[in-house]
Structure 1
Amino acid sequence: MSTQSAEPSSADVFAAARRLAGHAVTTPLLQNRILNERIGANVVIKAECLQIGGAFKFRGAYNRLSQIPPEERQRGAVAWSSGNHAQGVAAAAQRLGMHAAIVMPSDAPAIKLEHTRRLGAEIVLYDRHTQDREKIGRELARERGATLVPPYDDPDVIAGQGTAALEMAAQTRSLLNRDLDALLVPCGGGGLTSGSALAMSAVSPGTKVYSVEPARFDDTARSLKSGQRERVDPSARTICDALMPSTPGEITWPILRERLAGGLSVSDDDALDAIAFAWRELKLVVEPGGVVALASLLYGNNDYRGQTVGIVLSGGNVDPALYRDALSRPPR
């Protein structure tokens, strides 16, 4: 792609899929009888929690890093992330023989910090409540001449994330011989959601794509209603650490505004209960931010009876103590 400010297209998602072939995991599409009966729908589950690094983020990171000219790779890459993008960038950089420096919050889940270090990345810690991670990252990249790899507001990253939905559409046709009526996607800054919407617009234009966010970080849902980018209250907190950007991205927002059917939100309690459901019924480990689409399906107000509905479980890097708490909750 010639510029990093241009809005990506569906063609870019197809190109990303070709680059990722043989590098990213083609994650499974699952069904569960109990979930189908409970919702009254044909539900298909895209298990991106089984992707390299435990989340979908490897897709966008590899698509971005693999396009860096060889002569520039020696200067490395810089990213900022609460953990999943960090691991995606670290894993992609490791495969391409590059150094990666990741700006991460000091309160990130220990498992995400540990796994990022294990992949060989340099970690630069910051306070998410008092410091600006983007400013830190941009200054670091400028000092080193390194390539910036934003977590969502980058056309190559968006295109790479969209390959998950591209796979999902093909897998759904193969499994059920039909297209999705609706697709629910976890949404932070909107990289996965906008990439998914681009993919679906090309291969399954009748599919309604919805963003799903934590209740207090529902900036995308509110932006869709107002028609302009809304911001999160600085005092807001959530256990969904992967979904905490303060506003939709400059590049993701126009795609979300044009292509989403709507925005949904769930409470932290919904996310905890959905984590327990995923463990109990699906036999999958999912983190709070990665489980919000399932939480919306289980506990939201939308009626999907008789439809074919897809959900993305976007990540499985969950803090052990939080996971124990979630599993101790009585079935809901």
Structure 2
Amino acid sequence: MRRIRSLFYPIIIFVLAQLAWVVVIGLWIYRYVMNNMIFNEVGDRISPGLISESANVWALVEGLILMVTVSVAMTLIFRHLTIQLKINKLYDQFIANITHELKSPLGSIQLYLETLNSRPVPRTKQKEFIHIMLKDADRLQNQIDTILDISGLEQKKYAYTFETVTAGPALSRIIEDTAGQLHIPRERLSIHGNPMLPCVIDRKAIQTVFNNLMDNAVKYSEEQPALRINLSSDSGQVKIEVRDQGIGIAHKDQRKLFQKFHRVYRRDIPSVKGTGLGLYWVREIIRAHGGRMSVFSPGRDQGTTFTIRLPVYGASKKRYTNRLLKVTRKRRKREVSHDHEPV
């Protein structure tokens, strides 16, 4: 209902504008036809030198061109207006989601502090409260860091620290560390393959990728998540497949999944929280590595597979990966020289 209301006025404006130019073109055509009829009636009484058939034809052609041009222009204006309204709606949803995400840990911290301040609390309970508050503080810091990091990505100011690693062992270690942080039981995670190929990555950024993908698997699984991660090589690329057995993704949502602020809504999972930035962030990180990312799900309740392809160092996108390493070396030199500057 809100969507219909938000589009009501733009549609009315568009229709009125279309009617206005149609009336103008109609009057122009009417005038052209009337003039032509008058010339036909009195043409034999007018000197032939004053009548130009080609001028009349060109006038008609120009009018038709004008009509088509105005029509296309109005259509483009309406299209861009609709896109802007959609962006505004997504922005409002993002503000609502991020506000909730920030207020939730903050409210929890405030509640425990008020409890500690209002009455005596046993020593063991104090430790428990402090532990929960620290955990919520970390959650709050992670949310803020996420927003700042995404802002840095968009402005090309995010400082990656690229290095050359052996893909199999390095990725397996990152995956296992991430699973530990998300409290995914070892028996619910299986890693297959161990490509001993050089690859240029930023460990922290790649951990962010796996953190988002595995956290989504936890959120969107009705039971305890089961994750299968395949590591392999394919045509000069390291191929990573992250497969879960969750609720799946409808085909209509798969195309939009990596768009900023886009979230998948289902009535049977109303409690899933988020900002709609996670997968957008993941895709941008993979792009910065010179890689590609895709998603596939057979449908509802049939799980989802995310596929990541990163270039093998020396075999694919050699100039690009060398540039990534060069930028990292330059930044480190600047940081070292800055640290040694006299205060």
TM-score (norm. length: structure 2): 0.23
Higher helix share: 2
Larger radius of gyration: 2
Q: Higher relative contact order at CA 8 Å, sep ≥6: structure 1 or structure 2?
A: 1
TM-score (norm. length: structure 1): 0.24
